[in-house]
Amino acid sequence: MNSRTLKRISNVRLKARSELKLDEWQQHNYYCDKNLIGCTKDQLERIDARNTTREEFIEKYERPGKPVIIQHLIDDWPAFDKWTIEKLGKKYRNQRFKVGEDDDGKSVKLKMKYFLDYALNNRDDSPLYLFESSFGEHQKKKRLIDDYDVPEYFSEDLFHLVGEHRRPPYRWWCIGPQRSGTGIHIDPLGTSAWNGLISGHKRWCIFPPSTPRELLKPTSADAPRNKDEGITWFKVIYPRTQHHSWPKEYSCIEAIQHPGEVIFVPGGYWHVVLNMDLTVAVTQNFCSSVNFPNVWTRVIRSRPKMSKKFLERLKRRRPDLARLTEKIDINGDTGPRSDTSSSSSSSSSADSSPDSADESDTESKVTAIHERPFDQGDESFVKKQRVTPLS
Ligand SMILES: O=C(O)CCC(=O)C(=O)O
Ligand SMILES: [Fe+2]
């Protein structure tokens, strides 16, 4: 790493993970542990978008809530040409992208040129991960939007109805160095997600919504100061999932996502990701008429103000769904909530919406996943999280 990069990175490391001293970023020597990224186990079903219609996808995968990898869905994206490391390094050289959050929930940002130097030349156990959700609101960074299209399968986007400034964060552009990743979680507000990989390889483990969180979440005892890192999960929990004593009904669905593949993660499913090499990807979360009942329940609970606006808009534009809300038992158990127990802070100013009085502005995908562990007692956890009011 260039010495100027190192200086910037040291600052960012201290802010983004204040629980780690600078010499602790490499304490486990995972850089030398090639088993973690050498895995080839891959059981997830693939479908070919060239012979699967949108209706078929919805009936066979979205409605039953079945994870799947879709091939040839994004073959025509300009991103494959535009998002090479070399071109990104030139086009966005001095643009600052989010690589973490500080203890006050403020975005920690880094210029592209420093991040790429770091991404290619670091030996951190769990490197910083560029995870940017607000690119749509920036003069220069919003050019990224021209380089991809939301695939037809996922084109229904009900949160669009509440307006761009009110809706929860929903799209993330990501560059993940080798060994970086996302700890085990469920996506926020019952939304489902698709993740399109442009380059590199991602290792995924996915578990059904009924899997008990105690089985899946590393504790502070398992991994002091590192319990929420993706790589920690693969070190600590993954081996347990392979043991004969692991309950069959909670079997791990493993996949290696290759460039050009899109993975579909239905709402409610636990998932954890490790970048096996340098990856570039884009991911979006969505509320469609299929997952609407689950999403509605959670919106009511954690974004009460937004739910009013949402209902008002639904009445005009989707009266069928507006009527459906009257039949949804919002107190009923609709499976596990989105998991935010790694969250310790509210979303960045760019991510926060006008509904700041809502219970869980913190329930953004960004804050749900990509920040420091929160090691305090349950009481402060509940107060600070404010995302699991009915837990
Ligand atoms: O790191 C990844 O690619 C997975 C991201 C993810 O699951 C999420 O943002 O919800
Ligand atoms: Fe996720």
Which protein residue has the closest C-alpha to ligand 1 atom 6? 182
pLDDT at 345: 32
Q: Which residues line ligand 1 (CB under 6 A)?
A: 172, 174, 181-182, 187, 193, 195, 202, 271, 273, 281, 283, 365, 369
Rounded to the nearest whole angstrom, what is the distance from the C-alpha of residue 204 to the centroid of ligand 1?
10
pLDDT at 335: 59
pLDDT profile of the chain (391 residues), mean per 10: 98 98 98 90 98 98 98 98 98 98 98 98 98 96 98 98 97 98 98 98 98 98 97 98 98 98 98 98 98 98 97 98 94 63 34 37 44 26 23 26
Reference 88, options 65, 61, 111; nearest CA is 111
**Domain spans, the chain:** 3-305+328-369
Question: Mutual orientation of helices 292-302 and 304-317 as an angle, nearest 10°?
Answer: 140
Pick among 2.60.120.650, 3.60.150.10, 3.30.70.2740, 3.90.1150.10: CATH of 3-305+328-369: 2.60.120.650
Mutate which of 174, 189, 263 for ligand 1 pocket (most atoms within 8 A of beta carbon): 174
- ipTM (interface pTM): 0.99
Q: Which positions ≥6 away from 285 have C-beta within 8 Å?
A: 170, 171, 187, 188, 189, 191, 192, 193, 365
pLDDT at 331: 80
